[in-house]
Each structure stands twice: as structure tokens, then as C-alpha cells.
Structure 1
Amino acid sequence: MDFNQIAMIQKIKSGMDRFRANHPKFPLFLNAVSQNALMEGTVIEINVTTPEGRNYCTNVKLQADDMEFLNSLKSMGQH
């Protein structure tokens, strides 16, 4: 790993720490969802509203392939 990669990782960690400090309930929400709600058939909906009032919304219904990917992400976070 070179110096630029280490600097980028530190920058990402710093940004994550600031995000957690600014939005302390969001990581708790994600943790609860990841432990209790991520299973095949679950629908995840994301709704974004801009300051001007524009609204963007989408959803995905989790499939078996999605669960394999999400479980891989979970295991990466545990190391």
C-alpha cells in the first residue's frame, strides 16, 4: 500500500467519523436493519428530497444474489 492509498483511507475514515458525529442515529438505524431486516424479499426504499422540493424515490426487492453480496459486505466490516 503506497502513501496515496493510506492518505485516501485516512480521508475516508475521517469523513465517516464526521458523518457519524453529524447523524448519530443513522448508524444505529443501519445496524438494526442489517441485523433484523435484510432477508430475501425485503423491500428497501430510498426517498431523497432536495432543498428545492424535488423528490427522487426508488426501491429494490432483495433477491438471493443480493443477500450473498450483502453478507459479503457484512463479513468485510467484521474484520
Structure 2
Amino acid sequence: MNMNPMMLMQLQQRLGLFQQDHPKVIPFLQAVGNNAVTEGTVFAVKVTTPDGKVLESNIKLTANDIETINMMKNAK
């Protein structure tokens, strides 16, 4: 899968802005990646829209999920 170099540069800039606006997210994700990616871990996500609508979901990690996560971590 080839990515456009200009798109990669734009993505890098956007990620920098995201980190400025939300400084706790990346350290949190790093802590999860270092300490919580084990089979049976439950990832839960809850989103509340400005009008109050709540969307929730969760997944329990399987061995396949962990393999996929590790592949993504090593794709840097």
C-alpha cells in the first residue's frame, strides 16, 4: 500500500495539532499499548454527541486482535 508523501506530511501536521489540543491522549494510548494489550482485555468506547446522543461499544481482545495490534505497532 503506497501513500502519497504529501498526504503523509499533512497527516503528520494534523497529528501534531491533535497532540497539542489533546495532550493526554497519546500518553494514554501508549500506556494501554504497553500494559493492557493482553487476551481478554476489554476495550470500551463511549461517545456523546453535542445533542446528548450516546453511542457505546466494546470488544474483548482475542489472540488475533493482539497480533493485528502488534503488527500496527511495528509498522512505524
TM surpasses 0.5? yes
1:9 and 2:8 aligned: yes
Q: Which residue of 1 aligns with 2:50?
A: 51
Structure 1 gaps of 5+ residues are: none
* Shift, 1:15, TM fit: 0.6
1-structure distance, mates of 2:5, 2:26: 24
Letter in 1 for 2:75: M
| More helix, by proportion | 1
Number of equivalenced pairs: 74
- Runs of 4+ that moved beyond 2 A: none
Unpaired segments ≥5 residues, structure 2: none
Once residues 42 and 6 of structure 1 are traced to their aligned partners in structure 2, the CA distance between those partners, rounded to angstroms, is 36
Partners of 1:5 and 1:70 lie apart in 2 by 24
Query: Over residues 49-79 of structure 1, what are the superposed CA-to-partner deviations in whole Å (9 max), with x where a residue is unaligned?
Result: 00100000000000010011001011113xx
Please report the TM-score for the alignment, with normalisation by the length of structure 2: 0.93
CA distance in 1, matches of 2:61, 2:27: 21
Correspondence 1:2-41 to 2 at 5 A:
5-41=4-40
TM-score (norm 1): 0.89
